Amino acid sequence: MNNNLTGEIHSTVKLTPLKITLIYMLVGLFYILFSDQLIAVFVENLTTVFYLETIKGCFYVLVTGLMLYALIGRGFSELYRSEERLRKSEKRFRDLVENLLTGISIIQDGQIVYQNQEQERFFGPLPRSSKLKDFKNIHPDDIENVQEFNLDISSGKMQTLDMDFRLYVPDKINNEVDMKWIYCRATLTEYRGKKAILANTMDITRTKEMEHLLRIQDKMTSLGRVTAGIAHEIRNPLSGINIYLNALEKIYDKRESLEKVKGILGKIQSASIKIESVIRRVMDFSKPNEPKLVLIDINNPVTEAVNLSGVTLRKKGIEIEKSLADNLPLCQADPAMIEEVILNLINNADDAMQDMSEGKKIEITSSIEKNRILVTVSDSGPGVPSVMKDQVFDPFYSTKSSGTGIGLSIAHRIITDHGGSLNMSESGWGGAEFRIELPIMKGIGDP
């Protein structure tokens, strides 16, 4: 809007002298060409001619003066109105900028040449140098990132740059220093004909605090689920052990045969092994082994997993299909862990179809997509309800009454530790499809 008003003023200033000049030339040309001829035709007395010439000159001066007054007055009136509109527009724009909740400043030659009220609240009044160069109010953990941010935007390496950092802001009311999270966007621009940096800052402290609280809430929810899961898994075998111990006590009192004692001890041992298994799985989830990365063809551990489970699956009437791409680029992975993940996904598909009498299928594929190795395990089971899809990788979450909910969590952790991702969607048969994506070794498979 300001640009339109400025252009209007410039146009008025340029056109007014041109109009005046043209009118003056036309009137003068008319006077020269026609006035004397008209007088000579109608008047023969020289004295009368003299008076008429005088009157003609006065008339010419009067007419041109009035025309000049009208044109100049109109031009300057337009100029004044345009300037008034420009002033009002600038005032509206300044009021808008000054009352924004976003801090705005313009930096030239390392100095803040303009800032609005919100920016002054963060960094203090002018004159001052750029606080992002001083670093004294920046959180120590963020100084390096802010230095890099400042260098990239000041050198012109980046046209626009965004970052968030922590800033210590004096609280004059409580006479203390508050730490604020600041989101900053810097853009290269021009100000009064010189290169400058336009900086926009926003206080995102409350947003960060909410994110922190949500993370804590998620952790507490997971902790509660883990605790409930452990209690559920251990309670049954512990109850069994207590029952068996009571039985042993009765056998001892009655001096019954040692065969019964041996059988009960075996059951106690079985319950103990189950408890140990639960604890071991929990420990594997909480402190997983670091993957021993080597260059492998992903098809090798996938094939091993299929071979290990193939016989069992066929006995259960499950048709297993394998479609592995040839000549896949190598990737860095732990073959034993990848085999464990595939076995886990196959067993998960097996469990999902245990109540089906026919049409039980599992398909395993491998391919390359967008410079990443892709492995999918799909089944024709009932699938997972959409409301539960976001929870299937949570520890101790299971849709099966007999499931522990640890397997998929461990699989997800293993793939994440490989720098990849494990996601679930619906398969072409309406069941579940687990999609593993792993990065290709750097330098391999690049176009």
What percent of the chain is predicted at pLDDT more than 90?
A: 13
Summarised one tens digit per residue, pLDDT across range 224-243 is 666 766 776 677 778 888 88
> Per the domain annotation, does 445 fall within a domain?
no
Q: What is the pLDDT of residue 325?
A: 92
- Phi then psi dihedrals of residue 362, to 5 deg: -130, 130
Q: What is the pLDDT of residue 240?
A: 80
- Alpha-carbon Rg of the chain, whole angstroms? 43
Q: What is the mean pLDDT of residues 201-207?
A: 88
Number of domains forming the structure of the chain? 4
Q: What is the mean pLDDT of residues 332-340?
A: 90
Concatenated DSSP letters of 259-328: HHHHHHHHHHHHHHHHHHHHHHHHHHHHSPPPP--EEE-THHHHHHHHHHHHHHHHHTT-EEEEEE-SSP
Query: For residue 381, which of 309, 332, 301, 313 has the smallest C-alpha distance?
Result: 313
CA distances from 81 to 9, 69, 86, 164, 307 (A): 9, 18, 9, 45, 87
Cβ(323)–Cβ(375) under 8 Å? Answer: no
In this predicted structure, the answer to whether residue 443 has a pLDDT above a threshold of 50 is: no
Q: What is the pLDDT of residue 444?
A: 39
In this predicted structure, the answer to whether residue 81 has a pLDDT above a threshold of 70 is: yes
Q: What is the pLDDT of residue 86?
A: 82
Token pair 């146009």 is found at 11
- The answer to whether the Cα torsion of 293, 299, 300, 302 is positive or negative is positive
Same domain, 28 and 78: yes
Q: What is the mean pLDDT of residues 318-328?
A: 91
Same domain, 280 and 194: no
State which of 286, 318, 336 marks the end of a domain: 286
Q: How far apart are CA 289 and CA 279, in angstroms?
A: 15
Q: What is the mean pLDDT of residues 51-75?
A: 66
Q: What is the mean pLDDT of residues 3-15?
A: 48
- Local confidence band at 301 (pLDDT 50, 70, 90 cut-offs): very high
Angle between helices 46-98 and 2-30 (to 10 degrees): 180
3-state SS assignment for residue 228: helix
Amino acid at site 237: P
Query: For residue 337, which of 229, 416, 227 has the smallest C-alpha distance?
Result: 416
Same domain, 304 and 282: no
Cβ(259)–Cβ(251) under 8 Å? Answer: no
Q: What is the mean pLDDT of residues 144-172?
A: 83
- Local confidence band at 2 (pLDDT 50, 70, 90 cut-offs): very low
> Per the domain annotation, does 123 fall within a domain?
yes
Same domain, 303 and 410: yes
Same domain, 152 and 278: no
**Alpha-carbon dihedral 94, 95, 101, 103, rounded to 10 degrees:** 20
Query: Picking from 96-105, 124-133, 209-218, 363-372, which range would have the lowest pLDDT averaged per residue?
Result: 124-133
In this predicted structure, the answer to whether residue 429 has a pLDDT above a threshold of 60 is: yes
Q: What is the CATH number of the domain that holds 222?
A: 1.10.287.130
Cβ(437)–Cβ(373) under 8 Å? Answer: yes
Summarised one tens digit per residue, pLDDT across range 361-400 is 999 999 998 888 999 999 998 888 766 666 677 665 555 5
> Per the domain annotation, does 121 fall within a domain?
yes
- Local confidence band at 29 (pLDDT 50, 70, 90 cut-offs): low
Q: What is the pLDDT of residue 390?
A: 66
> Per the domain annotation, does 446 fall within a domain?
no
> Per the domain annotation, does 447 fall within a domain?
no
Same domain, 374 and 414: yes
Q: What is the pLDDT of residue 296?
A: 92
Structure-model confidence comparison of residues 214 and 422, the more confident one: 422
Q: What is the pLDDT of residue 24?
A: 62
Cβ(431)–Cβ(399) under 8 Å? Answer: no
Query: For residue 318, which of 288, 290, 352, 287 has the smallest C-alpha distance?
Result: 352
Burial 432-447 (b: 16+ CB within 10 A, else e): bbbbbbbbbbeeebee
- Local confidence band at 208 (pLDDT 50, 70, 90 cut-offs): confident
Same domain, 326 and 415: yes
Looking at mean pLDDT, say which of 97-111, 278-292, 425-439 comes out highest.
Answer: 425-439
Distance of CA 366 to the CA centre of its chain: 30
Q: What is the CATH number of the domain that holds 424?
A: 3.30.565.10
Q: What is the CATH number of the domain that holds 163?
A: 3.30.450.20
Same domain, 265 and 331: no
> Per the domain annotation, does 9 fall within a domain?
yes
Q: What is the pLDDT of residue 248?
A: 80
> Per the domain annotation, does 165 fall within a domain?
yes
Q: What is the pLDDT of residue 212?
A: 82
Region class of 84: left (phi > 0), else alpha (psi between -120 and 50), else beta: alpha
Structure-model confidence comparison of residues 349 and 2, the more confident one: 349
199: Cβ contacts below 8 Å, ≥ 6 apart: 103, 104, 105, 106, 107, 119, 132, 184, 185, 186, 187
Same domain, 355 and 269: no
State which of 152, 179, 203 marks the end of a domain: 203
Q: Which domain holds residue 196?
A: 103-203
The encoded tokens of residue 350 equal 């097996």
Same domain, 304 and 427: yes
In this predicted structure, the answer to whether residue 147 has a pLDDT above a threshold of 80 is: yes
Same domain, 157 and 42: no
Q: What is the pLDDT of residue 136?
A: 73
Q: How many CB atoms lie within 10 A of CB 338?
A: 27
Same domain, 263 and 217: yes
Cβ(102)–Cβ(201) under 8 Å? Answer: yes
Q: What is the pLDDT of residue 442?
A: 47
Q: How far apart are CA 130 and CA 71, in angstroms?
A: 51
Q: What is the pLDDT of residue 397?
A: 57
Looking at mean pLDDT, say which of 136-140, 303-307, 440-444 comes out highest.
Answer: 303-307
pTM here is 0.45
Q: What is the pLDDT of residue 13?
A: 47
> Per the domain annotation, does 44 fall within a domain?
yes
Strands (E), 125-257: 160-171, 176-191, 194-203
Q: What is the pLDDT of residue 445?
A: 40
State which of 83, 98, 113 marks the end of a domain: 98
- Local confidence band at 36 (pLDDT 50, 70, 90 cut-offs): low
296: Cβ contacts below 8 Å, ≥ 6 apart: 330, 331, 332, 333, 335, 338
